[in-house]
Structure 1
Amino acid sequence: MGLFKRINYFQDSTLWIWKVEEEYDLLFQSVTLKNNSLERLKGMKSESHQKGFLAVRMLLQEAGYTDLDLYYDEHGKPHLKDGKQISISHSHAFSVIIIGDTKIGIDLEILKEKIVTIAPRFMDINHLKNLESKDQIKKATVIWGIKESIFKIKNEKGISFPDHIFEKEFNLEDSSGIAQLVFNNTTEEYCFSFEFIENYALVCALQNKK
């Protein structure tokens, strides 16, 4: 399939989505990897993870970069050498990146029934009341994605999904909403947007500046 979609997000950011249907060898031969990326790839036990990793590098090329332009800080957060902001996610059949001038977080999650079972560990389950089972799965997955996206932006040790990141009530039809990070005696507000692609939830978050 290759490049699945390109979307403009939040005015100054662009998101690229890759549907991973190629064989491993084709992906591997299509990208340039620096040595530490090659070692990281070889250390992955799952071919699905390897292909997702390579698909991210294919997306970098779609965006005008290569693996050589990407590096990770001591906390594992990705950065681009030219100073542009980047966030990365991949799950099973899809890989996504978003690049822009503002710090932004992105998360992609496959929809699974298990998310409702573990929902009390990371969210206020009152947000799932009066929803049909399929919508409970969708909303719980989106809420996980909201928290994961905000965590990727802030990226500080000690942040807890249930204790520090709170989404305001929203409906699945809204496709957007507001959340807060309350941490270290500071409250920050974030806007988020979401959509469903096949059997996946895609969430983007961005901090609201006062």
Structure 2
Amino acid sequence: MPLYKTITPNSQTTVKIWKIEESYDDLMEGMVLKPETLKRVLGMKSELHQRGFLCVRKLLAEFGYDDTDLFYDENGKPHLKDGRQISITHSFIFAGVIVSDGIVGIDIEKQRDKITVIAHKFVDYEFDYLDKTSTCYIKKLTAIWCVKESLYKLFAVPGLSFKDCLLVIPFELKDEETKAWIDYKDKKYPYDIHFFEFEGFTCAYAVDG
């Protein structure tokens, strides 16, 4: 069972990451899914996406939940029936779930050069401290994207601008933590951020600051 990593940043919060090594058929074997969940899986065109989706259900089981415990609101944000907070991510060969008593968000992304092409769409203030000539530029951009994606997931306001409303203060990759804000309707919402790198991927998760 490829449970890759478990992190407990505080007594109320746990992160679990799964390395997706099983085949689609192996993951489906014995999997109990709600009819609407099964329809969603069967409708996915990419087998890698299907496997990532199913591995999230494997992670739910690691937390003691099953597919019937999970539901989504009108904005697509996942919730647990017992009232605990959850956020979900999967990217290529990794899937991640964070469960907490407080509001949380998580994202995993593969570190790829092409992120520089879209940087102008999600980076504004952060360009002030980024060095485009640095060997860490791609990794820092990926970390910023992961942070902003995790904030977007926890806030769950459709159309929230990554560039204008989400701010990540200066950080060093070795620190594996920083602060970030959501600036929305003249109010600022602060969050503690944790991030780390593994096997060419970056994971970031946000918890209430």
Say if 1:22 and 1:158 are closer, same or farther in 2 by CA, change over 3 A: closer
| Aligned counterpart, 2:82 | 82
1:30/1:58 contact within 8 Å kept:
no
Tell me how far apart the structure 1 counterparts of residues 87 and 148 of structure 2 sit (CA, whole Å): 14
Tell me how far apart the structure 1 counterparts of residues 121 and 19 of structure 2 sit (CA, whole Å): 31
How far did 1:32 drift? 1.0
How far did 1:207 drift? 2.3
How far did 1:131 drift? 4.9
Tell me how far apart the structure 2 counterparts of residues 180 and 38 of structure 1 sit (CA, whole Å): 37
Deviations 1:129-164 (A, max 9, x none): 16523x111100000011111111111123100111
Tell me how far apart the structure 1 counterparts of residues 88 and 103 of structure 2 sit (CA, whole Å): 12
| Aligned counterpart, 2:102 | 102
Runs (4+) of structure 1 exceeding 4 A deviation are none
- TM-score, normalisation: structure 2: 0.95
Tell me how far apart the structure 1 counterparts of residues 51 and 73 of structure 2 sit (CA, whole Å): 23
| Aligned counterpart, 2:177 | 176
One-letter code aligned to 1:128:
L
Unaligned stretches of 5+ in structure 2?
Answer: none
SS at match of 2:175: coil
Deviations 1:157-206 (A, max 9, x none): 23100111111111111111111111111111111010001110000111
| Aligned counterpart, 2:199 | 198
Tell me how far apart the structure 2 counterparts of residues 147 and 117 of structure 1 sit (CA, whole Å): 17
How far did 1:127 drift? 3.0
1:105/1:152 contact within 8 Å kept:
yes
1:115-194 mapped onto 2 (5 Å cutoff): 115-124=115-124, 125-129=127-131, 131-133=133-135, 135-194=136-195
One-letter code aligned to 1:163:
D
Tell me how far apart the structure 2 counterparts of residues 55 and 149 of structure 1 sit (CA, whole Å): 19
Tell me how far apart the structure 2 counterparts of residues 157 and 76 of structure 1 sit (CA, whole Å): 9
SS at match of 2:167: strand
| Aligned counterpart, 1:56 | 56
- TM-score, normalisation: structure 1: 0.95
| Aligned counterpart, 2:67 | 67
C-alpha RMSD over aligned residues: 1.2
